[in-house]
Each structure stands twice: as structure tokens, then as C-alpha cells.
Amino acid sequence: MKTSSRRTSKVSLLGFSVGFLFLSVCLSIAISPQSVLKHVIAQEQSSSSGAASVRDEISKDVKDEIRLLPKYSPGSISQTLNYSHFVPLSPLSNSPGNQVKLLLNYNVTESSLIDYPINAIMEVYAANQSLVRTSSLPHPLNITSSEGTIQLATTLNDNNLKNITAVALLTDDEKAIPISNVLEARLNLGEMNADR
């Protein structure tokens, strides 16, 4: 019985010693977070150079993927009127109404807009300056070069309108931020103007 009792006390003592060692390690980590940091640094330094090169490759890929967001602000694009008309559709098609069309030449002055979407808004006013119609591009347009042309068109079904003013403005893709100068075209019914 004495032998069994000695083994039990040695096992208990060994278990107590391991438990105490574990507790003291935990306490030293809790007391000294620097020791954890040193341990992590030591592990990183002992890891193979392959892991470091993978980490470097991932970092490089992330940097390559980061693109600057476009800077939508007033004056980011300048626009000029290329062509405008206010004509009846009936000679061109069997559709009723009168078409207002503007062709806008644009020049991007803010290079961060290249490859990003923009939109355009056209407002049509009657001779008494009341707003008749607001239209825009059906979908945002991706700017792929620093210069180009945008067409805006709408049909007015009120045949009493003989004189209108069309106002065009380029905006961000959400139509919230104006990014160009405002263009205005005053047109009489049947009028077509090129190269203004």
C-alpha cells in the first residue's frame, strides 16, 4: 500500500507542478504582453522566407488594385454646345410631338474621372420660364477618354410650345454633384443650330 500511496503522491505532485507551471506562464503573459510580442516576432523571424515572399506578393497585389476614386466637383469637365434643335417629329417619323436635342462636346479637366461614370441632365423651360421637362441619360456613361460627345434628347407633346430654353449640365453618376459648366440653348420651333 505504501508503494501505491507514493506513486499517487508523485503523480499528484507532478500534476500540481505542471499546473503551477502553466499558471505561471499564463500570469507572465498577462502581466507582460511584451513577452507575447517577442514570442510572435521570434516565430515570424524563424518562419521560412517563402511565407515572407507570399506576404510581400499579397501586399503588392493589393497596392496594384487600389485606384483613386474620381474627384467629382464643379469644373471637372468643360462642355460646349455642338448642335441643338427643336423640331416636329412628324416629318421624320409618325410620332407626335416636338423633339428637343442637344449634342454636347465635353473635355475632361479632372483626370481622375477617366474610366468612371457620369450623367447628364437636360431641363426644358417654356417661354415664361416654367419647367416643362427634365430628362437625363438612361444609364450613366463611362468616360473613356478626355474628350467626347454626349447626346440629350426629349419629346414635348405640347404643341402650344413655340419657344423653349434647354439647359444642360453634366453630373456625377448619381445626378447629385454638378461637374461641368451650364449650357443654355434658346430655340424656336423648327430651329436647328450647329457649331455654336
Instruction: Tell me, yes or no, whether 54 and 82 share the same domain.
Output: no
Question: What rounded mean pLDDT belongs to the chain?
Answer: 79
Helices (H) and strands (E) in the chain, counts: 3, 9
Note the pLDDT of residue 31: 47
- For residue 180, the 8-state DSSP code is B
Contacts of 128 by beta carbon, 8 Å cutoff, 6+ apart: none
Instruction: Tell me, yes or no, whether 29 and 85 share the same domain.
Output: no
pLDDT at 85 over 70: yes
Q: Is residue 71 in a domain?
A: no
Instruction: Tell me, yes or no, whether 151 and 89 share the same domain.
Output: yes
Instruction: Tell me, yes or no, whether 88 and 169 share the same domain.
Output: yes
Instruction: Tell me, yes or no, whether 88 and 42 share the same domain.
Output: no
Angle between helices 33-46 and 2-31 (to 10 degrees): 90
Q: pLDDT by residue (tens digit) across 153-193?
A: 999 999 999 999 999 999 999 999 999 999 999 999 999 99
Q: Is residue 121 in a domain?
A: yes
What's the domain count of the chain? 2
Q: Is residue 158 in a domain?
A: yes
Q: What does each C-alpha distance from 170 to 101, 134, 189, 193 come to in angstroms?
A: 15, 13, 25, 21
pLDDT band at 70 (very low <50, low <70, confident <90, very high): confident
The residue count for the chain: 196
Percent with pLDDT over 90 in the chain: 56
Q: What is the pTM of this model?
A: 0.64
Note the pLDDT of residue 96: 86
Instruction: Tell me, yes or no, whether 172 and 83 share the same domain.
Output: yes
- For residue 68, the 8-state DSSP code is P
Q: Which of 45, 65, 85 corresponds to the end of one domain?
A: 65
